[in-house]
Structure 1
Amino acid sequence: MELWIGITLVSAFLQNLRSTFQKHLKKSMGTTGATFVRFGFGMPFALTYLAILHFGLARPLPSINGTFALWAAVGSMAQIGATFLLVHLFSFRNFAVGTAYSRTEPAQAALFALIFVGESVSAGTLLAIAISVSGVMLISVARTTLSPVSIITSIFSKTAGIGLASGALFGLSSVAYRSASLSIAASLPAPDAIMQASFTLVVVIVTQTVTMLIWIILREREELARIAKAWKPAIAVGFVGATASFGWFTAMTLQQAAVVKALAQVEMLFAFASTVFFFKEKINKLELIGCLLIVLGVLSLLAWG
Structure 2
Amino acid sequence: MGWLLGWPLLTVAAAAAQTARNAMQRDLTGRLGTVGATHVRFLFGAPFALLFLGGLVLASGEAPPLPPASFWGWVVAGALTQVLATALMLATMSRRSFVVSTAYIKTEPVQVALFGLVLLGDPLRLSTALAIGLATLGVILLARRGDGAAADRRDGLTAAGLGLGAAALFALSAVGFRGAVTSLPHADLLTAAAVTLAAALTLQAAALSLYLLWRQRATLVALLRLWRPSLLAGLMGALASQFWFLAFAQTSAANVRTLALIEVPFAQFVALRAFRQRPSRRDSLGILLIVFGCLLLLHSEMN
Q: If the length of structure 1 is used for normalisation, what is the TM-score?
A: 0.79
1:197 to 188, 193, 197: 193
> Would you say the 8 A contact 2:135–2:292 is kept in 1?
no
> Would you say the 8 A contact 1:103–1:133 is kept in 2?
no
Q: Give the superposition deviation at 1:109.
A: 4.7
1:268/1:17 CA distance change after superposition, 3 Å: same
CA distance in 1 between counterparts of 2:294 and 2:164 reads 21
2:227 to 231, 239, 242: 231
1:94/1:38 CA distance change after superposition, 3 Å: closer
1:35 to 24, 38, 51: 38
SS of alignment partner, residue 171 of structure 2: helix
Q: Give the superposition deviation at 1:53.
A: 1.2
One-letter identity of the residue aligned with 1:77:
L
SS of alignment partner, residue 92 of structure 1: coil
Q: Give the superposition deviation at 1:195.
A: 1.4
Superposed, which structure 2 residues align to 1:58-77 within 5 Å? 58=61, 60-77=63-80
Superposed, which structure 2 residues align to 1:289-300 within 5 Å? 289=285, 294=291, 298=295
Gap runs ≥5 in structure 2: none
CA distance in 1 between counterparts of 2:123 and 2:235 reads 33
> Would you say the 8 A contact 2:110–2:132 is kept in 1?
yes
2:14 to 5, 11, 15: 11
CA distance in 2 between counterparts of 1:72 and 1:86 reads 21
CA distance in 2 between counterparts of 1:59 and 1:234 reads 32
Aligned to 1:180: 180
Q: Give the superposition deviation at 1:92.
A: 3.4
Q: Give the superposition deviation at 1:18.
A: 0.6
One-letter identity of the residue aligned with 1:63:
L
Q: Is 1:160 paired with 2:163?
A: no
Aligned-pair identity (%): 31
1:90 to 88, 93, 98: 93
Gap runs ≥5 in structure 1: none
> Would you say the 8 A contact 2:139–2:160 is kept in 1?
no
Q: How many residues align?
A: 295
Q: Give the superposition deviation at 1:264.
A: 1.4
Q: If the length of structure 2 is used for normalisation, what is the TM-score?
A: 0.79
> Would you say the 8 A contact 1:110–1:121 is kept in 2?
no
1:59/1:252 CA distance change after superposition, 3 Å: farther
> Would you say the 8 A contact 2:143–2:156 is kept in 1?
no
Q: Give the superposition deviation at 1:52.
A: 1.4
SS of alignment partner, residue 61 of structure 1: coil
> Would you say the 8 A contact 2:99–2:264 is kept in 1?
no
> Would you say the 8 A contact 2:10–2:243 is kept in 1?
yes
> Would you say the 8 A contact 1:43–1:242 is kept in 2?
yes
Please, which moves more after superposition, 124-133 or 288-297? Answer: 124-133
2:265 to 266, 269, 279: 269
1:158/1:279 CA distance change after superposition, 3 Å: closer
1:49/1:94 CA distance change after superposition, 3 Å: closer
RMSD, matched Cα: 4.0
1:121/1:71 CA distance change after superposition, 3 Å: farther
1:44 to 31, 47, 58: 47
CA distance in 1 between counterparts of 2:25 and 2:106 reads 17
1:109-159: CA deviation from partner (whole Å, max 9, x where unpaired): 56779999x9x99979968975995697589569x4279xx9xx7699333
CA distance in 1 between counterparts of 2:273 and 2:286 reads 17
Please, which moves more after superposition, 120-129 or 80-89? Answer: 120-129
1:97/1:271 CA distance change after superposition, 3 Å: closer
1:73/1:197 CA distance change after superposition, 3 Å: same
> Would you say the 8 A contact 1:128–1:301 is kept in 2?
no
